[in-house]
Amino acid sequence: MASNALESTLHQLDKVSDRLGLDDGLRAVLRSCKREFTTSFPVRRDDGRIQVFTGYRVQHSLARGPAKGGIRYHPQVDLDEVKALAMLMTWKCAVVNIPYGGAKGGVACDPKTLSHAELERLTRRFATEISILIGPDRDIPAPDMGTDEQVMAWIMDTYSMHQGYSVPGVVTGKPVNIGGTAGRREATGRGCLVVAQEAAHHKGLSLQGASVVVQGFGNVGAVAARLMAEAGCRVIAVSDSQGGVFSPHGLDLVALSKHKREAGTMIGFSGGDAITNSQLLELPCDILIPAAIEEQITVRNARHVRARIIVEGANGPTQAEADPILKDKGVLVVPDILANAGGVMVSYFEWVQDTQSLFWEEAEVNRRMEMAMTRAFDEVFEMGEREKMDLRSAAYMLGVRRVADAIATRGIYP
């Protein structure tokens, strides 16, 4: 699964490199990751046993600035997946034009099976292992699947202990009381709303009453679902990793969140019918937001997708081979590197605020993010019209060209 994500990303890059007429040397630079770091490290479990975990930090490119990207805790994390995700971060930061390169990290573990104390020990040890790579001017981690504000606080603290002074700018997505920014927690979901609005506008669709389906109910999916509902949409189905619920009249998301908080699952929620994740992806709807994991829309199910617009809240939710099928069906796909870039956009704002020790109001953060995301959407859309290509190819064109230009301008050392 994970190695397919790398293949998909490279395939897209090759296609765009052809269109841009990049020479072989530049292509080889863009195809490779600058630094790939693998570490095996011991963690003491609560029962006294020692368990060895494997973690990764990959910096794909530093051409446009310090490396930026999240850290993922998930059992399926491996080097190829982290490389693919690092590469996606490079294009993502370039598409929305923030001055970063791309990176990603991960530890192969199931955070749900670790106690709070074990999670802290694992995080502090991993932070120490990668401390030779990270830093506010070098490489700035953030949350991703399986990690959160608390994990960022531990990384920030561990790094700061080693330096001997507080370095809030070493991570983003931190709690607000230690240098985090207002609006970061909701930023990815809010960015999804902004691009959904733009995409709907181009499809001649009003968000008022538009039917929305969301796969994934984590930091991205749950926030996107709530904000879409607040914008007047009818959220008819949502799911988590165990399955979902469906109600054609629209779900009561407040009641559903409460049920999930209490029961730990959506299963058993009385305000809708139970539905599997694969059924959910094939529901007729105006807007589908896959906000869970990679490779959900595949060659097998793409022809059954009945959404008019897909907003990719997750990274890599659509297989490369599924894209032409969706295109033929007339589905407008807003690609991950644009659709979920609100998160890293607000991470950038957090880092800027940390650097200046001057903090903004939430309304200011949201206003700047909405402005930047709308501009990025317009640029990608115009590129798509001009080059007669789908939005994913257009976003790659824009992102890859900016990175290639930076490399060409800087020149090859020595």
* Positions marked active-site: 104
Determine contact, residues 82/56, Cβ cutoff 8 Å: yes
Does 318 participate in binding ligand GLU (rule CB under 6 A)?
Answer: no
Residues 283, 28: Cα–Cα separation, whole Å: 41
Interaction of residue 105 with ligand GLU, rule CB under 6 A: no
Size of the site for ligand GLU (CB under 6 A): 11
Of 377, 346, 412, 10, the C-alpha closest to 181 is 346
Contacts of 122 (CB under 8 A, 6+ apart): 43, 53, 107, 109, 114
- Minimum CB–partner distance for residue 320 and ligand GLU (Å): 19
Q: State the minimum distance, in angstroms, from the CB of residue 139 to ligand GLU.
A: 10
Report the candidate in 133, 136, 135, 109 with the shortest Cα–Cα distance to residue 123. 109
The one segment of 127-135, 336-344, 353-361, 369-377 that binds ligand GLU by CB under 6 A: 336-344
315: contact with ligand GLU by CB under 6 A? yes
Q: Which stretch binds ligand GLU (CB under 6 A): 66-74, 126-134, 202-210, 292-300?
A: 66-74
Q: Is 353 left (phi over 0), alpha (psi -120 to 50) or beta?
A: alpha
Q: Out of 81, 129, 144, 312, point to the residue binding ligand GLU (CB under 6 A).
A: 144
Query: Which residue of this chain has its Cβ atom nearest to ligand GLU in the complex?
Result: 70
Cα separation, 243 vs 175, in Å, equals: 30
79 Ramachandran zone, left/alpha/beta (phi>0; psi -120 to 50): alpha
Give the range of 64-72, 118-126, 252-260, 269-277 binding ligand GLU by CB under 6 A: 64-72
Task: Name which of residues 385 to 404 contact ligand GLU (CB under 6 A).
Answer: none
Quick one: tokens of 191? 């960015």
**How many whole angstroms separate alpha carbon 375 and alpha carbon 249?**
34
Q: Please give the helix or strand (H or E) that residue 105 lies within, else none.
A: strand 101-108
Residues numbered 205-224 forming contacts with ligand GLU, rule: CB under 6 A = none
- Compose the 149-188 pattern: x for residues touching ligand GLU by CB under 6 A, - for all others: -----------------------x----------------
Cβ proximity to ligand GLU, 120 vs 144, nearer residue: 144
Q: Which member of 53, 61, 63, 69 binds ligand GLU (CB under 6 A)?
A: 69
In angstroms, the CA 27 to CA 21 distance is 10
> Closer to ligand GLU at the Cβ: 123 or 247?
123
Q: How far is the CB of 314 from ligand GLU (least distance, A)?
A: 9
Residue 316 within binding range of ligand GLU, rule CB under 6 A: no
Q: Which residues contact 269 (CB under 8 A, 6 or more apart)?
A: 245, 255, 256, 259, 260
Q: Nearest approach, Cβ of 254 to ligand GLU (angstroms)?
A: 26
DSSP line for 214-249: EE--STTHHHHHHHHHHTT-EEEEEEETTEEEE-TT
**Nearest distance from residue 200's CB to ligand GLU, in Å?**
23
Is 70 among the residues that bind ligand GLU (CB under 6 A)? yes
Closer Cβ to ligand GLU, 64 or 234, answer by number: 64
Q: Please state the length of the chain.
A: 414
Give contact residues for ligand GLU (rule: CB under 6 A): 68-70, 142, 144, 172, 315, 340, 343-344, 347
